[in-house]
Amino acid sequence: MPADRIEDRVKTMIVDRLMLSAQPSELGDDDDLVSKWDVDSVRLMELVIGLEEVFGIQLGEDEFSIKKFRTVKNISEVVRAKGVS
Domain 6-81 falls in which CATH fold?
1.10.1200
What pLDDT score does 15 carry? 97
Q: Which has the closest alpha carbon to 71: 14, 22, 33?
A: 33
Percent residues over pLDDT 70 in the chain: 96
Amino acid identity for residue 60 in this structure:
G
Write out pLDDT tens, residues 30-50. 999 999 999 998 999 999 999
CA distance 44 to 40: 6
Residue 48 Cα distances to 56, 61, 69, angstroms = 11, 10, 9
Per domain, the residue ranges of the chain are 6-81
Whether pLDDT at 12 is above 90: yes
Positive or negative CA dihedral for 61, 66, 68, 70?
A: positive
Region of residue 52 (left: phi > 0; alpha: psi -120 to 50; beta: else): alpha
Q: Supply the angle between the helices 6-18 and 41-55 in degrees, to the nearest 10.
A: 130
Whether pLDDT at 19 is above 80: yes
